[in-house]
Copies of this chain bind each other. A is one copy, B any other.
Amino acid sequence: MHDGCTLFDDLPDDSVPRAAADQVVDPGLHRVATWFRRQQRLEQRFSAVLRQSIDEVLDGQRTGRFDIAEAEKTEKTYLGTKVEIVCRSEFDLFRGVSGMDYRIADEDVDAKFSLYGKWMIPREAMGHVCLLMQVNDAKATFDIGLVRIREEILSSGLNRDKKRQLSSSGRGGIEWLVQDGALIENTLLRMSQSMRALIFAESSGQQRVNALFRNVRGSLIDRNSVVTAARQIDSAKRVRDAREALAAQGIVILGHQKDCPRVASELGITVPPKGCWISVRLVATPNPDGRNRVFLEGRHYAVAEYWEPEEPAPKISC
């Protein structure tokens, strides 16, 4: 049996290779794909690039927005430029030599971002490799692929800027680097509408942050969600004040410092990385009952079940 890499090696030059074969008959694209696949933590880094770009354009701290679908057209257009910049910075890429965005593995590569996978390809990209990026913030997924732009993979229609989309066979020929990747979650967008309503019914920034940590338990809440709820810059101060406000209900907010990682780890919940917090409600559990327990202020505590009565939270050094 032939393997995929040699199957089409003997095609005559003028043949039109089938989409599935593009990757093997295009050594340039193959080199770019290999370069990316050799990067450490490729999926996580693209996830961070896309999350950071979307969050910067949403500018939640100033606007209170968390849904990029509701941004203005100029902002969505600019998001593509922001992604291009953040991606160049994350992977330390140089600019291409023929006006393309990047130079990777001796190939010019153009960055093409689209929120909805409808990449608009300009004439100048003809013959070049495109790094295709798309994201679905509501589903917390993203895709990264490579394709070389050729006449036969483009649709016939032009938009006002004389750009064209990939045809469906063109889409079939994309060499995927990440498919259905895990995007860092947008807490405020991903929560249920009723929970969001509870949070945004509060009139002050601090009260919205309190409601965020009161309602979203046991999963990571990042700095951007806090400043978006607060519409203020100082997330650390808002979290400290939320900690005090929620202590009477037994809710603790764990961060990445001091005693917090140990407490999270012994409770069996996610240990927050820098820039994230996690809130849980605790109850004292004098006797072992199968739950993970942590020893605090002379007593054992476990994560409360919803039916257990509220009691004041122990103090944790954070």
Contact = CB atoms under 8 A, between A and B. Distances in A.
8 contacts: A62-B85, A63-B85, A63-B89, A72-B81, A74-B74, A74-B81, A75-B78, A77-B77
A80 interface: yes
Contacts of A88: 62
A62 B80 contact: no
A68 interface: no
A59 B86 CA distance: 10
Which of A63, A88, A89 has the largest count of B CB atoms less than 10 A from its CB?
A89
Contact of A89 (B62, B85, B86): B62
A158 to B, nearest CB: 15
Contacts of A59: 82, 85
Interface string A60-80: 001100000000101101101
A75 B80 CA distance: 10
A115 to B, nearest CB: 15
Nearest to A82: B59
Contacts of A82: 59
Nearest to A160: B160
Which of A59, A86, A88 has the largest count of B CB atoms less than 10 A from its CB?
A59
A138 to B, nearest CB: 23
A304 to B, nearest CB: 38
Interface string A85-120: 110110000000000000000000000000000000
A74 B72 contact: no
Contacts of A72: 81
Q: Which 9 A-B pairs have the closest CB atoms?
A: A78-B78, A62-B89, A74-B81, A74-B77, A74-B78, A62-B85, A75-B81, A59-B85, A63-B85
A59 B72 CA distance: 20
Nearest to A84: B72
Nearest to A77: B74
B74 A80 contact: yes
A294 B50 CA distance: 50
A109 B62 CA distance: 19
Interface string A185-229: 000000000000000000000000000000000000000000000
Contacts of A85: 59, 62-63
A72 B74 CA distance: 13
A102 B259 CA distance: 46
A199 to B, nearest CB: 20
A77 B161 CA distance: 15
B62 A86 contact: yes
